[in-house]
Amino acid sequence: MTRLLRAWWPAILWAAVIFSLSTDTFSSEHTASIFSPLLHWLLPHLSDQQFNTIHNFIRKSAHFTEYFIFYLFLYRGVRGARSGWRWIWGLSAWFVAAGYSALDEVHQAFVVSRTASAYDSLLDSIGALFGLAILYLWFGLRRQRSSLPTQQLAPQRVTNDSRQRP
């Protein structure tokens, strides 16, 4: 049981973070009240349209990033105490992330100040898909590097021995 909890606690904790980010506290109106003074302090001549564009970019980047991180934690949970990469682990973690993003949008449909959006769920799933791609490449490169002979990994020593014969 402790091994299972050790593998899954980051994903469970991050799922709770995502759930809390889907509440009224992090609605567009509330985050605008936080970002507006900050951005207008940094950029005093910022128009309302420019602010809305930047604010939207920050919010959509958060969707992508939170599910990218969630995927990494899910993969850790699915993999458990085993090591390396397996497609079944990667796809399982991605399906869980995509399913959770759909449920998150359903949750937002019941929050008065939030709106559910299939596009946000798609963006969440793409963030998780990028997580899958990064892990796949990471483990692939590690496997490739570990399969190289030791002589190829070690730097070549160059000697300047004046006693060498032509």
pLDDT, mean of residues 24-38: 82
**pLDDT value for 114:** 87
pLDDT more than 90, % of the chain: 62
Phi-psi sector, 115: left (phi>0), alpha (psi -120 to 50), beta: beta
* In the chain, where the domains are located: 2-21+62-142
pLDDT band at 26; cut points 50, 70, 90: confident
pLDDT band at 13; cut points 50, 70, 90: very high
pLDDT in tens, 60-79: 999 999 999 999 999 999 99
**pLDDT value for 105:** 93
**pLDDT value for 97:** 98
pLDDT band at 160; cut points 50, 70, 90: low
Does the pLDDT value for residue 24 go beyond 70? yes
The model's pTM is 0.81
The rounded distance, in Å, linking the Cα atoms of 128 and 126 is 5
Does the pLDDT value for residue 103 go beyond 90? yes
pLDDT, mean of residues 89-111: 96
Higher-pLDDT residue of 125 and 116 is: 125
**pLDDT value for 98:** 98
